Amino acid sequence: MAVSVNVSRFEGVTMAPPDPILGVSEAFRADTNDLKLNLGVGAYRTEELQPYVLNVVKKAEKLMLERGENKEYLPIEGLAAFNKVTAELLFGADNSVIQEGRVATIQGLSGTGSLRLAAAFIHRYFPDAKALISSPTWGNHKNIFNDARVPWSEYRYYDPRTVGLDFDGMVADIKAAPDGSFVLLHGCAHNPTGIDPTPEQWEKIADVIQEKNHIPFFDVAYQGFASGSLDADAYSVRLFVRRGFELLVAQSYSKNLGLYAERIGAINVVCSSSDAGTRVKSQLKRLARPMYSNPPVHGARIVANVVGDPNLFNEWKQEMELMAGRIKNVRQRLYENLSEKDKSGKDWSFVLKQIGMFSYTGLHKAQSDHMTDKWHIYMTKDGRISLAGLSLSKCEYLADAIIDSFHNVD
C-alpha cells in the first residue's frame, strides 16, 4: 500500500541561519585566498596557527589507556573525582564553602551544558525570576536562556566611546532590575569585549547585588587562561564567596586545558548550608537525566588526572602560562603595529588593557564585513577578534586591515 503522504511533514521547516560564531569557521574553510585569517571562534592556536593539544593532556590520555579503565555509565552528576577537583580549583581547596560541604557540583557538557542546566534549574525553581546579561555578551547566552524559558534583560557593559567598561551604566541597570534577579557575570576575560571590572569595581558590583538580593551567576570559561594564573583568574568568584553570597558558577575546560571537543565543565552552586547543597544537587540531577542521562567520561578523567597529580598539575600551569603569554605578546605586537601605522592619533591602547582570548575592536558590522570581504579576515560581526588565532607574523596585516576598515567604512 502506497504511503498516503506525498508531501513532507517538514515542508514548512525553514532554513536556519548559520550560527554567528561557529558559522564563521565554516565560511573561513570555504575561502581559498592565501591571506585568509580565522579570528572567529575562540580556539587557541600556536604561533604556527595550528591547533594545540596540551602535553599534559597527551600524558593523561596515555596513562588512562595503560590503566585500561572501563566505560561504565557515570552517575548522573558525573565523575566524583572530577567534581571534587573542579570545585577545589575554582574556590580553593581550603575555602570554607568546600570544607563545609556547601557546594553542589555537577559535571556538565562544558560551559554551554553547565549554563543550560543552571538555566533549567532557574526556570523550574525561580519561575518569576529573570536573568540579567551584559550588553554585549557571548552570543549563545541568550539562546540558552531562551530555550530554557528564562526571561532576560541586559545591563549596560561596553562603552564604545572609551572601548572600556560602562561601569555606572552597569551598576544602574543591575540596581533597576527586580529584586532576586540572576546576574550573569563573566568571571574573567569577558567575552566578547575582553574588558573586566577592576577589584574595586567588583566590590561595588557585589554591593549593588547584595542590596537587591540578586543571585550572582558566574560564567568561568577562562580560569588560568586570562592572566596565566588560576588563582588570579578566580579572584572575582572568590570575592563574592568571601562576602557570603549564595551563587552559581559554570566552568569550562575547553580553553584552559584545550579540551574543546571533549565537552567538559561543571555547574557549581554555593549554598548557605550543606543540606541546601544536597537538595540543589538532587534537583540538578533531575534536570540532567531527561537531557542526556549522564555526562561523557573521557574529558572528566583527563581533568581529574591532570589536576589530581602534582607533577601534571604543575606542568599544566606552565603550559597555561605559555598560552596566556603568547596571547599577551600578540596583543603587544598588534598594539605597536596599530599605533605605528595609524596616523590619525586614535588611541589603540584598549588592545593592551583588554584581557583574554578576545578583543573588541570597536568595529561595527559593516566594518567587520569589510574585514572579511576585502581582507579575508574572519571574525564575528560584533567586531570581536580572537587573538588566540593570531600569530606575531600576521599582526601587521591585521593592523592594516583594522585601520582601513575603521577609517574607510561607515
- Tell me the three state secondary structure of residue 68: coil
Q: Is 30 in the site for other proteins (CB under 8 A)?
A: no
CB of 410: closest distance to other proteins in angstroms? 32
Task: Decide if 136 contacts 159 (C-beta within 8 A).
Answer: no
**Integer Cα distance of 199 and 206 in angstroms:** 11
**Integer Cα distance of 400 and 403 in angstroms:** 5
For 226-247, give one letter per residue: b (16+ CB within 10 A) or e: bbbebeebbbbbbbbbeeebbb
Choose, by CB under 8 A, the member of 55, 96, 143, 198 that binds other proteins.
143
Choose, by CB under 8 A, the member of 150, 271, 387, 390 that binds other proteins.
271
Stretch that binds other proteins, among 188-196, 261-269, 318-326, 384-392 (CB under 8 A): 261-269
Catalytic residue among 59, 173, 255, 281: 255
Cβ-based nearer residue to other proteins, 93 or 291: 291
**Integer Cα distance of 232 and 238 in angstroms:** 10
Catalytic residue among 138, 316, 348, 375: 138
Window 91-110: residues binding other proteins (CB under 8 A): 109-110
CB of 340: closest distance to other proteins in angstroms? 34
Cβ-based nearer residue to other proteins, 150 or 171: 150
For 307-333, give one letter per residue: b (16+ CB within 10 A) or e: bebeebbebbeebbeebbebbeebbeb
Radius of gyration from C-alpha coordinates of the chain: 22
CB of 363: closest distance to other proteins in angstroms? 24
Residue among 253, 209, 252, 218 at smallest CA distance from 236: 218
- Tell me the three state secondary structure of residue 252: strand
Window 385-404: residues binding other proteins (CB under 8 A): none
Q: Is 151 in the site for other proteins (CB under 8 A)?
A: no
Cβ-based nearer residue to other proteins, 146 or 393: 146
**Integer Cα distance of 399 and 252 in angstroms:** 31
Q: Is 259 in the site for other proteins (CB under 8 A)?
A: yes
Stretch that binds other proteins, among 32-40, 191-199, 273-281, 392-400 (CB under 8 A): 273-281
Of how many residues is the chain composed?
410
Stretch that binds other proteins, among 138-146, 163-171, 233-241, 360-368 (CB under 8 A): 138-146
Cβ-based nearer residue to other proteins, 204 or 285: 285
Stretch that binds other proteins, among 127-135, 156-164, 233-241, 388-396 (CB under 8 A): 127-135
Task: Decide if 121 contacts 108 (C-beta within 8 A).
Answer: no
Please count the other Cβ atoms lying within 10 Å of the Cβ belonging to residue 283.
Answer: 15
Active site residue 375: no
CB of 327: closest distance to other proteins in angstroms? 18
> Of all helices (H) and strands (E), which one includes residue 217?
strand 215-220
Active site residue 19: no
Kind of pairing, strands 103-108 and 265-270?
antiparallel
Cβ-based nearer residue to other proteins, 156 or 298: 298
Cβ-based nearer residue to other proteins, 19 or 400: 19
C-alpha cell at 53: 593539544
Q: Is 48 in the site for other proteins (CB under 8 A)?
A: no
Active site residue 219: yes
**Integer Cα distance of 251 and 398 in angstroms:** 32
Per-residue binding letters, 196-225, with other proteins (x by CB under 8 A): --------------x--xxx----------
Q: If DSSP states are collapsed to H, E and C, what string results for 122-175?
A: HHHHCCCCCEEEEECCCHHHHHHHHHCCCCEEEEECEECCCCEECHHHHHHHHH
Choose, by CB under 8 A, the member of 10, 161, 200, 345 that binds other proteins.
10
Q: Is 40 in the site for other proteins (CB under 8 A)?
A: no
Choose, by CB under 8 A, the member of 187, 258, 356, 383 that binds other proteins.
258
**Integer Cα distance of 241 and 271 in angstroms:** 10
CB of 339: closest distance to other proteins in angstroms? 33
Task: Decide if 320 contacts 225 (C-beta within 8 A).
Answer: yes
CB of 285: closest distance to other proteins in angstroms? 7
Per-residue binding letters, 56-75, with other proteins (x by CB under 8 A): -x---xx--x--x-xxxxxx
Q: Is 365 in the site for other proteins (CB under 8 A)?
A: no
List active site positions. 138, 219, 255
